[in-house]
Amino acid sequence: SEDLFNTGELSENFQTRGVRVVVRCRPLLAHERDHEQQCMTLDKESKSVTLQSKNIDERMRHFFFDEVLDEGCSQQEAFARVQMGPMVESVLAGYHATVFCYGQTGSGKTHTMEGFTYRASRGAASPKAQLDTDPEQLGLIARSISLLFESIKRKKKAEPHVTVNVKCSMVQIYKEQVYDLLNPTLMDPSSTPFSTTSFGRPLARPPQQVLKVRWNRRREFYLENVFEFQCATADEAIDHFRFGVNNKTMASHKMNMASSRSHSLFTVIVETAPASAPEDAIVSKLCLVDLAGYERSAQSGSTSGQLQQESIFINKSLFTLRKVITSLADPHYRGMHVPYRDSKLTCLLKHSLGGNSLTLMIACLAPSDAYWEDNLSTLEYASKTKQISNQVAVNEDPKNRLIRLLRERVLFLEHQLAEL
């Protein structure tokens, strides 16, 4: 604490943390039984993936990651091995954390994050009937929520004078529009909108179908008027999540898109404060992101002309995400322009890449040789992402932080005086 006043920016609590990257390969699916799977080898011990070349004159490629999960890895094991536990604990301690799944369509991203099974709906039956929950198959999101509430219970026992408040929101980005998946009127405009937000205050405006991304005074992006629901229990939060997943499925039908072409972001906001001073809350968030899959380019011939233009537009966010990753991974990027503002997704994930967040990327692979190009591309972006480092710190209000540091300084000086 000696150079407390020399740092200028009060940045001495920041720590450098690299983005962690875990690879997960799904099993072969029933209809793929006769697919070849010769080219890719996963090694859990050395945490590496080896991709054999397809033609002899190419070299073999080795990739190393923080963890490698093969097709035998259950949902529960995946949750443990990606170290979701420590991440959830960090969020409760005041850090931002982000998990995002990256990979081609059909590589297991939604399975990893959601893990719900969709039953074929009979006609236009109630959308709720489409979602099955096998507790074994539940993905990272539901498991993280459960763990968070368990940790909160423990924290409240250990520190009875602390209050912890949890809220959640869920949005979808499709063709550069942000839709609020927890908006109760999204799918049925005739239904009665909720009269209050989660804060118990009346809504400033009627619920909006398309949300605006704004920039606040603390130099962060946020979504204007997004529905945030207060959650007292894990079940409540999981219910909101389930509601959002249903809305996503219905929206896909209505907008005539494959849901794999949209990004979905589930955010858990945690506010921790001393009961005596609720205005001193530390606010942190856990973002859980299921990215759009990229369409297979090599086989479909979409690398040329109009099709490519179309897929770039549909996935402008994905395209920009890759540019952001590429520029951050470049050792010469320091101080150079990173194109966060070019897409909605990268605005909302700005703090997660090169910013103030503990970040985990789960790169999803499909085992069959038919996906060789896609797997190579995923492995290359995953390797780049591993080069990115973030600067993380507890999300204290800057004013409270200054007060705390000054108090510590006073104590230190008093202590020195007493020793004279």
Known binding positions for ATP: 103-110
| Residue nearest Mg ion (C-beta atom) | 110
Tell whether residue 80 is a contact of ligand ADP (CB under 6 A).
no
Tell whether residue 260 is a contact of Mg ion (CB under 5 A).
yes
Interface positions, 87-106, toward ligand ADP (CB under 6 A): 103, 105-106
Terminal CA-to-CA distance of the chain, rounded, Å?
20
Name the binder of 27 from Mg ion, ligand ADP, none, CB < 5-8 A by kind. ligand ADP
Q: Which is nearer to Mg ion, 252 or 387 (CB)?
A: 252
Cβ atoms < 10 Å from Cβ of 373: 14
Tell whether residue 29 is a contact of ligand ADP (CB under 6 A).
yes
Token pair belonging to 29: 């699916």
Task: Map tokens 């990229």 to a residue.
Answer: 294
Among 96, 111, 167, 322, binds ligand ADP (CB under 6 A): 111
User: Smallest Cα–Cα separation from 102: which of 333, 291, 317, 371?
Assistant: 291
Q: Which is nearer to ligand ADP, 2 or 34 (CB)?
A: 34
Amino acid at 353: L
Name the binder of 208 from Mg ion, ligand ADP, none, CB < 5-8 A by kind. none
Q: Which is nearer to Mg ion, 104 or 197 (CB)?
A: 104
Using CB under 6 A, which of the segments 25-33, 173-181, 217-225, 271-279 binds ligand ADP?
Answer: 25-33
Amino acid at 4: L
Name the binder of 244 from ligand ADP, Mg ion, none, CB < 5-8 A by kind. none
Tell whether residue 107 is a contact of ligand ADP (CB under 6 A).
yes
Name the binder of 29 from ligand ADP, Mg ion, none, CB < 5-8 A by kind. ligand ADP
Tell whether residue 110 is a contact of Mg ion (CB under 5 A).
yes
Token pair belonging to 278: 């609720």
Identify the DSSP state of 204: S
Tell whether residue 109 is a contact of ligand ADP (CB under 6 A).
yes
CB of 312 to ligand ADP, least distance (A): 19
User: Smallest Cα–Cα separation from 291: which of 254, 268, 312, 265?
Assistant: 265
Cα separation, 283 vs 269, in Å, equals: 7
CB 361 within 8 A of CB 289: no
Interface positions, 266-305, toward ligand ADP (CB under 6 A): 293
Using CB under 6 A, which of the segments 4-12, 23-31, 60-68, 412-420 binds ligand ADP?
Answer: 23-31
Identify the bridge partners of residue 172 per DSSP, sorted by sequence position. Answer: 179, 264
Token pair belonging to 400: 């409270």
Among 288, 289, 364, 405, binds ligand ADP (CB under 6 A): 364
Q: Report helix, strand or coil for 405.
A: helix
CB of 110 to Mg ion, least distance (A): 3
Give, in order, the Cα–Cα distances in Å from 242 to each of 84, 128, 245, 287, 323.
20, 9, 5, 16, 32
Token pair belonging to 21: 């990257």
Interface positions, 177-196, toward ligand ADP (CB under 6 A): none
Cα separation, 420 vs 417, in Å, equals: 5
Tell whether residue 172 is a contact of Mg ion (CB under 5 A).
no
Give, in order, the Cα–Cα distances in Å from 346 to each of 96, 97, 176, 339, 390.
16, 15, 11, 8, 15
Q: Which residues bind ligand ADP (CB under 6 A)?
A: 26-27, 29, 103, 105-111, 260, 293, 364
Q: Which residues bind Mg ion (CB under 5 A)?
A: 109-110, 260
